[in-house]
Structure 1
Amino acid sequence: MFINFYRRICLFVLLWLASLDGLAIETQQLTPGFYPALRVGYAWLDNVFRSEKQEKADTVFQARPMLHWKAGTVVYDLNARYQGNYGVYRVLDEQDYMDHTLSIGFGLHPTEKMALELSDRYKIGHDQPGISGTQVFAPPKPNRWHDNRFRAQFTYGRRIATAQLQLAYEEATRRFQNNQREFSDRNQHTGTATWLYHVLPKTWLVTEFQYQINDFQMNKAFDQDSDQWHVFQGASWEISAVTQGEILLGYLRSTPKDQRFFKPFSGFGARISINWQPRTYSRVTLRAERMPQLGSTASAFFLANRIGLTLQHEPTERIRIQTSAAYEKDDYSFNRFGPERQDRFLRFGLEINYAMLHWLNLGLGYSHDIRNSSLRLSDYAANTISFHVQILPEYARNP
């Protein structure tokens, strides 16, 4: 007991001394240099395992450190970042986690019409209990994995001119480390071609074609490999600072290699992103998609239908209030011999941040999560109450 207490105290101290935070940074607006930040806090969860029959409550100490470094000139820029996500539970210490993400990005802009962007991200992470794409029943210890993603994108043309062409290639690998989830180890190769045609001021027609190869590494009793592709057509716009968005609709298809076990899918697909800022202190964000996804289950893939709405308002210069609601329906019916499974998720969230100083924020949050599943005893409801302190320099403030 004393050793466990001592370990927690040491971790708490080390996180305070060696960490730096975790919010998204608009790297284009940064001058070269180092940028640290830190977010620490406590959260109380009334259903840690996201289970209807195994409800356990606990308190978790959380820390999100980050250090960002940028170098470059007008022609090129180089960014490197470390970000951590640490959690220590008071009682259920088998759920403790220490996630690490290391990323590097290089951008080259030799002319106004040409750009090359390269990035690589390596992450050691874990499956959050009960979320989309994971096991129905949370394991005693979280499923952990190593994930590496390399991306290259070449752009020719200017968005403000007649047209622009973007060609991208992404390679992703994921390896599970425990809980006998090795059957989900995979390599993923994705090629994307995007054509933007300037039709109106600040408005473009967008055509996107994407082809993806899913190569699973532990094919034993059955082959989970699959190919999928989609063709989307839509529009993108940027009307000053008031509204920006993209709506893409089209046709998608997923073809499993072993159709004795898995069903092919073809049908409607979509990706929507809209930001609306009627006032400088208010922002509305809408996200929606209908796309095939890969998870850590034995299914080759599942079809995810997602929509989320976020409202952010700043009644004063020091107070920021953010509310959110999200709905998701996941269809796992493409495994011919597995149990019929369809999950529905509903989430509500509220977060209030108070800026004590221009670099120091205090935050209080609440979220309510619900899952309704077609599998027996798989429903759950969970509540999370959190408090955090955030060392947040001006460069990293949310837009």
Structure 2
Amino acid sequence: MSKKLHISLLALAVTAASSSALAVEAMSIKLADGLEFTPTLKVSESYDDNFREVESNEESSWITTIAPTFTLGAEGRKSAYKLSYSAVSDTFHSSHEDNNTDHHLTADAGMEFNDRNRLKLNAGYHDVEETAGLDQKLENDMYNTKNVGGVYTFGAESARAQIDLGANYEELRYTNSNRLNADKERDTTALKSTFYYRVAPKTKVLLEGRHTDYDYVSNDRLNSTNIGLLTGVTWEATAKTTGTAKFGHEKKDFDDSSIGEKSGGMWEVGATWEPRTYSRFSLNTRQGFDEGDSGASTIKTQTTTLSWNHDWAERLSSNVSYTRMDQDYQDIEREDQIDTFGIGLTYEMRRWLDVGLGYKYSENDSDAANESYERNIYALSFTASL
């Protein structure tokens, strides 16, 4: 994953975290037995004082976002299917040349053949344009990703042991003019196997192996293979907490002998503590290698997010979140420390209508020239359904 794509997904996660745990109770249209159609619409008005994430000559704008989502779901006795499409249209009132519409199409399927055999499949297509990033000095980053994958599980839910076998294939392609960003285009093939062993009624220990192959379309220098081995534990509703913690080691071996091999510790932890039914604290932290950018062969990234969701009343809730991302660029002299703070308030005006207020502040403290920035986003949103 490139730096900008990684940060884009982080921003999406933080934006989502800045809204409340409350959500519109969308009603579906029954098309046939077991087949339902669900439309939702989100409209927001936001002010962004540095939408290009630059150190100097910042540009600001009011931005109107219209985001409809359409979901088609079908359920059988031992299967479930979902097809979703969403469009996110941004209108920049101070910079109309940056107006853009992102498209997201996903498909999911789940099948239970018997008590011991289950299969989950997923596929997706995402067409995105970003105003923030290194190459925006020339034009916005425009790219699309296509992926298909799945996880096969052997072992009954009540069994002492289970195993997951997963695979995913993804293509990243840029649609900029004059081959801009073509050196970042790649195909990624990932395989993962996880063995679970129950040690208590709601607790399992795990052992996980990963193998990921990065094949760049034109930039052969960055072709590499990542191998990771982790061990950990997963638990459900134990002492009011739920979560998974994995710790291990990762090795990244480049085809180019001049770069060689990178290795280091890796971890992934996600936990939620619910001291009261109306209050939830979450911790998510990760360390690992991300794909290189700005001349780096790879980026060693450590990310930690803390969030608090609280329901103040039946219709009113809030969320506060803080994220710290440390990025150590390998084979070049650059380190970034990105801090992001978000706060949001959601009021469920009607069953079918939520109103949200949000604020997000982000700051990058980089030791590379012209890479530091500060950014403030203020937003008012309306989410509606049938």
Give the TM-score range, shorter chain: 0.7 to 0.9
1:157-215 Cα offsets, whole Å, 9 max, x none, are: 02432111000110000001115100111000000000000001100001110000000
* Counterpart position of 1:51: 54
* Counterpart position of 2:89: 86
Shift of residue 33, structure 1, vs aligned partner: 0.7
Q: Secondary structure at the match of 1:109?
A: strand
CA contact (8 A) 1:36 1:67 kept: yes
CA contact (8 A) 1:32 1:70 kept: yes
Instruction: Write out aligned runs for 1:264-283 (5 A).
Output: 264-283=261-280
The structure showing larger relative contact order (alpha-carbon pairs under 8 Å, at least 6 residues apart) is: 2
Gaps of 5+ in 1: 1-22, 394-399
CA distance in 1, matches of 2:106, 2:59: 35
* Counterpart position of 2:369: 376
The residue type paired with residue 375 of structure 2 is A
1:356-392 Cα offsets, whole Å, 9 max, x none, are: 1111111111111000111112211111101111115
1:125-155 Cα offsets, whole Å, 9 max, x none, are: 134514xxxx3x6435321111001102110
CA contact (8 A) 2:202 2:235 kept: yes
* Counterpart position of 1:146: 144
* Counterpart position of 2:117: 114
Shift of residue 64, structure 1, vs aligned partner: 1.9
1:349 is the counterpart of 2:342: yes
1:13-34 Cα offsets, whole Å, 9 max, x none, are: xxxxxxxxxx8999xxx96411
Instruction: Write out aligned runs for 1:325-344 (5 A).
Output: 325-334=322-331, 339-344=332-337
1:181 is the counterpart of 2:181: yes
CA contact (8 A) 1:226 1:300 kept: no
CA contact (8 A) 1:148 1:172 kept: yes
CA contact (8 A) 2:25 2:352 kept: no
The number of residue pairs the alignment matches comes to: 356
CA contact (8 A) 2:60 2:94 kept: no
Instruction: Write out aligned runs for 1:213-224 (5 A).
Output: 213-219=213-219, 223-224=221-222
The residue type paired with residue 381 of structure 1 is E
With over 3 angstroms needed to count, the CA separation of the structure-2 counterparts of 1:25 and 1:228, relative to structure 1, is farther
* Counterpart position of 1:11: none
CA distance in 2, matches of 1:74, 1:350: 41
CA distance in 1, matches of 2:120, 2:63: 38
Gaps of 5+ in 2: 1-22
The residue type paired with residue 82 of structure 2 is N
The residue type paired with residue 36 of structure 1 is P
Shift of residue 297, structure 1, vs aligned partner: 4.1
**More strand per residue: 1 or 2?**
2
CA distance in 2, matches of 1:388, 1:178: 31
1:288 is the counterpart of 2:285: yes
Q: Secondary structure at the match of 2:113?
A: coil
With over 3 angstroms needed to count, the CA separation of the structure-2 counterparts of 1:392 and 1:328, relative to structure 1, is farther
CA distance in 1, matches of 2:108, 2:374: 39
1:311 is the counterpart of 2:311: no
CA contact (8 A) 2:240 2:273 kept: yes
CA distance in 2, matches of 1:192, 1:165: 11
CA distance in 1, matches of 2:225, 2:130: 24
**What TM-score do the two structures reach when normalised by structure 2?**
0.88
Identity %: 23
CA distance in 1, matches of 2:269, 2:44: 33
Instruction: Write out aligned runs for 1:96-245 (5 A).
Output: 96-127=99-130, 129-130=132-133, 135=134, 138-178=136-176, 180-219=180-219, 223-239=221-237, 242-245=240-243
Q: Secondary structure at the match of 2:314?
A: coil
1:52-103 Cα offsets, whole Å, 9 max, x none, are: 2111211110122111111121211111000122211002123222110111
C-alpha root-mean-square deviation of aligned residues, in Å?
2.1
